[in-house]
């Protein structure tokens, strides 16, 4: 069941994706693991997470990047951040609206608006445990499937706030 939901979530993440933006060649790549470190995903090792090392769960790119940390035991539970950069804010808003339209059926409950996070954000708990946020030309999808269910939304919001701040002011890399 979890594997099916993960596959559905990946499809949901792709909704509204219009392909690479025309500016992608000029944009620096996003390393999603710079936005969410293992220590941030699993403070004090409370959930025994480790990096998930396949191409779907860890990627770096100018338009799409994802970083996931998961449990070793089955069913695998993850904490992840996925960033999708669109050609402009309008395209990101359109993708966010499309995704929000599908969240209820995937989560099994009504998604809740999250105020004060980007231009639009929604938490889809239930079977999904994802926060979808749109800020400018960026869509951010944070999944938190570990820890107390009552605290997952707050945890996802904390990760999203930090990731959006880091995207807005990327660290200077040494030459």
Q: Domain ranges in the chain? A: 2-168
- Number of neighbouring beta carbons within 10 Å of residue 170: 12
Whether this model's pTM surpasses 0.85: no
CATH number of 2-168: 3.40.1000
pLDDT at 20: 45
- Could you tell me whether strands 112-113 and 78-85 are parallel, antiparallel, or unpaired per DSSP bridges? unpaired
Q: Is the pLDDT of residue 172 over 70?
A: no
Q: Is the pLDDT of residue 167 over 70?
A: yes
Question: Per-residue pLDDT tens for 124-143?
Answer: 999 999 999 999 999 999 99
Of the two residues 44 and 164, the one the predictor is more confident about is: 164
Question: Per-residue pLDDT tens for 11-27?
Answer: 344 444 444 444 545 77
């Amino acid at each position: 069941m979890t594997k099916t939901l993960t596959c559905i979530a990946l499809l949901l993440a792709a909704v509204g994706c219009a392909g690479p933006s025309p500016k992608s060649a000029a944009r620096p790549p996003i390393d999603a693991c710079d936005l969410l470190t293992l220590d941030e995903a699993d403070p004090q090792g409370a959930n025994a997470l480790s990096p998930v090392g396949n191409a779907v769960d860890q990627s770096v790119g100018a338009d799409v990047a994802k970083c996931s940390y998961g449990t070793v035991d089955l069913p695998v539970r993850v904490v992840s951040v996925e960033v999708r950069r669109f050609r402009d804010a309008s395209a990101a808003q359109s993708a966010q609206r499309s995704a929000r339209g599908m969240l209820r059926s995937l989560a099994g409950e009504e998604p809740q608006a999250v105020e004060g996070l980007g231009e639009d954000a929604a938490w889809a708990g239930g079977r999904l445990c994802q926060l979808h946020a749109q800020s400018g030309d960026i869509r951010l999808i944070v999944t938190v499937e570990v820890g107390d269910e009552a605290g997952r939304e707050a945890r996802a919001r904390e990760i999203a706030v930090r990731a959006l701040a880091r995207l807005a002011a990327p660290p200077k890399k040494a030459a």
